Amino acid sequence: MPVKVLIVDDSGFFRHRIEEMLQDDPRLQVVGTAVNGREAVDQVKRLKPDVVTMDVEMPQMNGIEAVRIIMREAPTNVLMLSSLTHEGARVTLQALEAGAADYLPKDIRAWMDKNSGVRAQLIDRLVALGRTRRFRQSSVLERSWPGREQKGTTMVFRPDDTAPSRRPQTPARPSVTSTPRAASAETRRPAPAAAAPARPSVAGDPATTPASRVQFPDCKLVVIGASTGGPAALQKVLTQLPANYPYPVLLVQHMPKTFTQVFAERLNQQCQIRVREAEDGDRLEPGLALLAPGGLQMMLDPRQKDKVRILTGDERLTYKPSVDVTYASAAKTYGNKVLGVILTGMGSDGCDGARLLKQAGASMWAQNRDSCTIYGMPQAVVNAGLADAILELDDVGPLLAQRGLR
């Protein structure tokens, strides 16, 4: 059964262009179009699409408000389309806060160029989102909006009857263990996550590791990678870390340049730790998270391992920034003193780098299927037998905050 798509845009050109891009793919079926947010809400309720492409700026009701109503009244995965400007990045992040699952930049030149790769990106994301059946009714990021009550991320599930049924049988890896330090250094440590019962395996997936079985490993650097669903996931994790967090953190989120700058600024406002977009020569500091800039690669300086290098990198690499690149650099520089964390995202970026981390003796945590927007990147790590712990998203932040004091 094809994924049913609703196209929402006040531009007749873009509605036609999107429909044209999708019409020859048998995995997708355009079931309707809408010209504003109000019409989009009505069409979602009437047509019950699997996924919606949503423009941001529209008359009568904009895309952000439409997403908020859809996630409240008829939860459906939404792919936002927005400009590559600073303002476009800001409103796109607001849409992700409202519950949208993912986004694509709306660069008219790329959308008109048949060789730009936009069609393949659009189709891949619509197919993945249409099959996942996981929706965020209200994002944890909504807590940053003045006047809004604080809410945690809420996921809504429908039977995943269109997802691929072939899932490799891979046994769960042992959890990360360590011996905590004496309590004298624990004065300001956040409370550990509540113990949760192990979840049964689903269709061969390894069971989620109970938080009670996981302790922070002996490390000097935390490196976190994410893609689709990553902005909300990263915010949920990083807001759990205290201002006096004793480790530097490197963040790799698949985003274009303008978006990473705005995303870093928003995280810095929302978190107790400091967050900023990385620049060449930045030093690693406790309680500082450096976000890899879009379009570039972030590595550690082999001559001064407390500094990062921001480089163009290999042109053949699909992802810029790439989780693999940063993981590999961390493995080479810090060896077994790294904790790698892989969060929600399409594809398998991070798996090769995770393998190098494990070969160096480092530790690796992966987000579990149930809490991912798209279980692609974590699944690749888990299926390769590289995950020391498979965790609920809600457990990742509190476990990181335990800090493994010795």
- Is 114 found in the same domain as 55? yes
- Which CATH number is 379's domain given? 3.40.50.180
Give residue 177's pLDDT band: very low, low, confident or very high (50, 70, 90): very low
Q: Is 155 a member of any domain?
A: no
- pLDDT at residue 195 is higher than 60: no
Q: Is 99 a member of any domain?
A: yes
Q: What is the pTM of this model?
A: 0.82
Q: Is 378 a member of any domain?
A: yes
- Is 119 found in the same domain as 176? no
- pLDDT at residue 194 is higher than 90: no
Residue that finishes a domain, picked among 99, 126, 144? 144
What pLDDT does 169 receive?
37
Q: List, in sequence order, every residue forming a beta bridge with 249; answer none if it has no partner.
A: 222, 289
Q: Which amino acid is located at 366 in the chain?
A: A
Residues with a known catalytic role: 227, 254, 349
Of the chain, the end-to-end C-alpha distance in Å amounts to 54
- Is 219 found in the same domain as 121? no
pLDDT in tens, 280-327: 999 999 999 999 999 999 999 989 999 999 999 777 788 999 999 999
- Which CATH number is 37's domain given? 3.40.50.2300
CB 41 within 8 A of CB 75: no
Closest CA to 152 of 211, 210, 79, 99: 99
- Is 61 found in the same domain as 22? yes
Q: Is 188 a member of any domain?
A: yes
- Is 137 found in the same domain as 174? no
pLDDT in tens, 58-110: 999 999 999 999 999 999 999 999 887 888 899 999 999 999 999 998 887 87
**Burial letters for 261-293: b for 16+ Cβ neighbours within 10 Å, e otherwise?**
bbbbbbbbeebebbbebbeeebebeebbbbbbb
- Is 194 found in the same domain as 115? no
Give the Cα separation of 198 and 180 in Å (integer). 23
Give residue 205's pLDDT band: very low, low, confident or very high (50, 70, 90): low
- Is 317 found in the same domain as 178? yes
Q: Is 382 a member of any domain?
A: yes
Give the Cα separation of 166 and 48 in Å (integer). 27
- Is 289 found in the same domain as 187? yes
- pLDDT at residue 135 is higher than 50: yes
pLDDT in tens, 211-241: 999 988 999 999 999 999 999 999 999 999 9
- Is 273 found in the same domain as 138? no
Domain around 126? 3-144
Q: Is 296 a member of any domain?
A: yes
CB 360 within 8 A of CB 385: no
Helix axes 230-238, 393-401, angle to 10 degrees: 30
Q: Is 248 a member of any domain?
A: yes
- Is 78 found in the same domain as 191? no
Q: What total number of domains does the chain contain? A: 2
Q: Is 331 a member of any domain?
A: yes
- Is 181 found in the same domain as 98? no
- Is 121 found in the same domain as 29? yes
What pLDDT does 180 receive?
35
From the number of C-beta atoms within 10 Å of its C-beta (0-12, 13-18, 19+), residue 313 rates as middle
Residue that finishes a domain, picked among 109, 144, 179? 144
Residue that finishes a domain, picked among 128, 144, 160? 144
